[in-house]
Structure 1
Amino acid sequence: MHIQRTPLVTTTLGTTRELVSFHFGTPGAGEKVYVQASLHADETPAMLTAWRLKQRLVEIEASARMRGEVVLVPVANPIGLSQHLLGQFIGRFEANSGQNFNRNFPMPAASALVERIRGQLSNEDAAHNARVLRAAVRDMLAATTPRNEFESLRLALLTQASDADIVLDLHCSLEATMHLYTSPASWPALEPLARYIGANGVLLATDSGGQSFDEIHALLWNEVRALLGERVPLGAPNIAATLEHRGQRDVGYDDASRDAEAIVEFLIVRGVIDGSARELPPLAHAATPLAGSEQLIAPVSGIVVYRASVGAFLKAGDAVFDIVDPLTDAVTTVTTKNDGVFYMRRATRFVYAGAPMGRVTGERAFRKGVLIGA
């Protein structure tokens, strides 16, 4: 194992932070897998899973079973870890700018990339073209000068992942069942991971509109492919996903160990680790379009009483939660319009009118525009 420490730009006097990454295997020996955890710094279950995964990778490397390369960043957001206000942990948004740590990542423009690499491409060798593209992305990122700590963190994360074949971004939700987000292009390669990790929901979107960390890698590949045309082979797209490790309070050794082992088994299937993975378990539910997930909105203010358990499979018309008005005695029941999994919900139990309260998967796409929240 090699440990790399990347210093971040110092924004204020007397403060310094660094991004720590752990490197396993041999670069260029096989597929490169990049795994990071808790880019939203208050999503602690992801960090615990990454810690357990690091222990397993140390064991695997010591037994000479690494056949590819794994880069692991267990603490992807040292900035957000320091943000606390009146006892509340604020790790989703950068306090100075108000920006979401996992939105609007600035990858190089596809047109500039194509112009840079056009003379280096082969009309026959897709693997060669993929290597050229990834090297160009890394070179263009290296030529970028961050202006502050926030930008330097983003640049460091992008640089580590820019030449990876597989990008896994570990998160969690507020209160949730295990689920993941990925693109239709990545889904066939990632289905074994969804099965091993017990995903209770898989949400698919080519472009959710948020330019989140995992999505920009696949989007860039698609844009470059469109510009190059069919005559220039590019090979398989980048494989990328966001894994949601249940809810913020689901921090326990058992879950973390199971999730880490599921990632190890997926890496065995990919040939990154030598060994025999266990038989694939069944997929809990078929993948559904992110555009088909129903956002449940509170129509009034009041006390929330959930009537459906997170992770439950609901039928259209089932009651999801009540809102109780203690002044008028009114009880407003919110039902779902979809058949699907109630995969995430808010942790608060008092809401204002118009608050987003949770989501239920659905087979029929009906939403357009930006598909993910702030």
Structure 2
Amino acid sequence: MQTRRTPLVSTTLGTSRELVSFHFGDAGRGGERVYMQSSLHADETPAMLTAWTLKKRLADLEAAGRVRGEIVLVPVANPIGLSQHVLGQFLGRFETNSGHNFNRGFPSPSADALIERVGARLSSDDAAHNARVLRGALVGMLGEMSAKNEFESLRLALLTMASQADIVLDLHCSLEATMHVYTSPASWPAIEPLARYLGANGVLLATDSGGQSFDEVHALLWNEVRARLGDKTPLGAPNIAATIEHRGQRDVDYDTASQDADAIVDYLIARGVIEGEANDAPPLAQPATPLAGSQQLIAPVSGIVVYRAKVGARLKAGDAVFDIVDPISDDVTTVTTSNEGVFYMRRAIRFVYAGAPMGRVTGEKPVRTGVLIGA
């Protein structure tokens, strides 16, 4: 295991932070390159504990000579957000200097600029060669970008480390949630075994959710490159990317982290990145559905929230999801779902204002357009 430290731009006098990454194996042995990071939203601690557990697994596997590919792991992907505490409250989702979401609006070179950069160096019959050439050019283009502050330097460092990976996994969690996965239709065939190993109770598919999240800009770039090149210029598959939501913020315990780390190792064995015999993947808990089909439940009034459906429950259209109690008027407003699907995430607070987003239920039919993910 190699430990590498990438310094971030110092925004204020007397302060400095660094990004620490752990590197396992060697892509020269013929396996894929895998990049994994956790807690880009710094207050999503379950992902960080899973990554720490996974780091120990990978160190043992490397010592046993079983890592065939190259694996890069960043357990603390957001040292900036880890320091943001206001009056005892942990604020890890947004950067307090700018208000920017740490996992939205990632910059990326355009597909056209990347293809123009490599020029005539692409092959008409060697997909692996083309992937290497394009990745090298991408690293060069990212290296030419300048970061004006700490926030921008963090994003650029993360993108650069992930830019040569065949598989990009961004480990997160929600507020209160069941295990679920966000990925693209193009990535889904390769990610499906991972969803099975993890026991994902929801899989949400979107090519472009509109938020330019970390995993999505990676997949989008390579999808666009592939579309521009066409069938006459083959390209390997460096567009496998997903966000893994490790349940809710309070789901932090050794047993759960161990279970999730083992699932990721099984997936890497099945991919051939790690030598060995993978356990059989269980059946998929729920079929994949379009992210555009998930129903966002909104609080129509203000009051005390009483959830009537458990996280992870499969609901039918018309089922009650939560009540809102007005302790002054005695009114009780019941909110139901119009979807048949899994109640996969909900807010953690129990008093809401009118118009607050309260949770989501998966659905087979697209019902939303535009930006599909929240702030």
Range into which the TM-score falls when normalised by the shorter chain? over 0.9
Tell me which residue corresponds to 2:236: 235
Counterparts of 1:300 and 1:28, CA distance in 2: 59
Judge conservation of contact 2:165–2:238 (CA < 8 Å) in 1: no
Q: Offset at 1:259?
A: 0.2
In the TM superposition, what is the alpha-carbon distance from 1:28 to its structure 2 partner?
3.2
> Who is 1:20 aligned against?
20
SS at match of 2:172: strand
Residue 363 of structure 2: aligned partner: 362
Structure 1 residue 123, shift from structure 2 partner: 1.1
TM superposition shift of 1:222: 1.4
Paired AA for residue 19 in structure 1 = L
Cα-Cα RMSD: 0.8
Q: Which residue of 1 aligns with 2:340?
A: 339
Alignment of 1:197 onto 2:207? no
Q: Name 1:273's counterpart in structure 2.
A: 274
Deviates more, 1:224-233 or 1:148-157: 224-233
Corresponding position of 2:226: 225
Matched residue, 2:103: 102
Alpha-carbon distance in structure 2 between the residues aligned to 1:228 and 1:267 = 29
Q: What is the CA–CA distance in structure 2 between the aligned matches of 1:44 and 1:280, rounded to whole Å? A: 26
The SS at the match of 2:27 is coil
Partner residue of 1:161?
162
Q: Distance in 2 between matches of 1:237 and 1:276?
A: 24
3-state SS, counterpart of residue 250 of structure 2: coil
Paired residue for 2:114? 113
Counterpart amino acid of residue 236 in structure 1 = A
Distance 1:273 1:224 in 2: 29
Residues 314-357 of structure 1 deviation map (CA, whole Å, 9 limit, x = unaligned) = 00000000000001000000000011000000000000000000
- Read off the aligned partner of 1:11 and give its amino acid letter: T
Q: Which residue of 2 aligns with 1:9?
A: 9
User: Counterparts of 2:321 and 2:117 in 1: how far apart (Å)?
Assistant: 52
Displacement, 1:130? 1.1
2:321 equivalent in structure 1: 320
Does 1:248 find its partner at 2:249?
yes
Q: Retained in 2: the 8 A contact 1:186–1:237?
A: no
What does the per-residue CA deviation read over 1:285-309, in whole Å, with 9 as the maximum and x for residues that have no partner? 0000000000000000000000000
Distance 2:55 2:91 in 1: 26
8 Å CA contact retained: 2:167, 2:238: no
Aligned length: 374
Give unmatched runs, 5+ long, in structure 2.
Answer: none
Contact map agreement 1:222 1:237 (CA 8 A) in 2: no
User: What CA distance in whole angstroms lies between the structure 2 residues aligned with 1:232 and 1:213?
Assistant: 27
- Tell me the residue number matched to 1:132: 133
Does the CA-based 8 Å contact 2:315-2:342 persist in structure 1?
yes
Q: Distance in 2 between matches of 1:23 and 1:340?
A: 39
* Residue aligned with 2:61, SS: helix
1:51 and 1:280 map into 2 onto residues whose CA distance is 23
Partner-residue secondary structure (3-state), 2:241: strand
Would the aligned equivalents of 1:311 and 1:343 in 2 still touch at CA under 8 Å? Answer: yes
State the Cα deviation string for residues 3-49 of structure 1 (Å, max 9, x = none). 00000001100000000000000133320000000000000000000
Q: Which runs of 5+ in 1 are unaligned?
A: none
How far is the alpha carbon of 1:119 from its aligned partner? 1.2
Aligned identity (percent) is 78
Q: Structure 2 counterpart of 1:73, which letter?
A: V
CA-to-aligned-CA distance 1:122-175 (integer Å, 9 cap, x gap):
111111111111111111111111111001100110010000000000000000
Q: Is the contact between residue 185 and residue 237 of structure 1 (CA under 8 Å) also seen in structure 2? A: no
5 Å-filtered alignment, 1:22-41, equals: 22-29=22-29, 30-41=31-42
Q: In 2, Cα distance between the equivalents of 1:33 and 1:329?
A: 55
Deviation at 1:237, TM superposition (A): 4.6
SS at match of 2:59: helix
- Residue 191 of structure 1 aligns to a residue whose secondary structure is helix
Q: Quick one: which amino acid aligns to residue 120 of structure 2?
A: G
TM-score, normalised relative to structure 2: 0.99
Contact 1:45 1:172 in 2 (8 A): yes
- Residues of 2 paired with 1:14 and 1:88: CA distance? 24
Cross-structure match for 1:213: 214
**In the alignment, is the contact (CA less than 8 A) between 1:301 and 1:350 conserved in 2?**
yes
Alignment check: 8 A CA contact 2:27 2:33 kept = yes
Q: What's the TM-score, normalizing by structure 1?
A: 0.99
